Amino acid sequence: MQNKINSADSLLAPSVALRPALRPARTAVALMTIGPHRQHGTPFAAAQEWIGFEVSNIKFLVPHAQVNEISEMVPVFRLPNTGRWLLGLVNLHGNLVPVFDLASLVGGTFDSKSKTMLLVLGRGDAIAAIVVNDIPNRKRFGASNRTPLPAFPDAIRDYVSNAYAEEDQVWLELDHVRFFEMMARRISG
């Protein structure tokens, strides 16, 4: 019994976990799993695998390799004194994961007729989730699918880098890393 480890000793307090400046520095491994930043408008040389999802009638893409998990909605625990865009935290496999409401950021709401899912992106301490309408699906786009950026809400302008056309639909490439970093600054600011 003397060798029993108190697991609570190794956990961060919620106030520390939610304030990036107080957390330990990210490891090189954690940074590598996020993926490299790309310049706006920089196309990939060949077709790339994407996960497509919809929020408030806007179609988004994130790189398939950055998707950690797609899950049914689980109970979300609200955090006091945060904006509508942060729904709260969920417990996924014993890890606290922040859940962001992209719909409220673009001035919309979720389609109550669609199935609500969690799209979990990133790995390690660089993990977060977005609530999406319906089940995300796999897409494949390359440079030949690129199209000029259409009109979309200003609130997400800094997080959309490219647009891809598929028949009569336009899919926006969401820079989820920059999006999550901005949200983290809002929480800690």
Domains of the chain are 7-188 (2.40.50.180)
**What are the pLDDT digits (tens) for 141-157?**
999 999 999 998 888 88
Integer CA distances (angstroms), 61 to 10, 126, 176, in order: 36, 19, 9
Count of alpha carbons within 13 Å of 76, Cβ hemisphere only?
Answer: 22
pLDDT band of 188, cuts 50, 70, 90: low
Q: Express each pLDDT in 33-57 by its tens digit.
A: 333 344 444 444 568 999 999 988 8
pTM for the model: 0.71
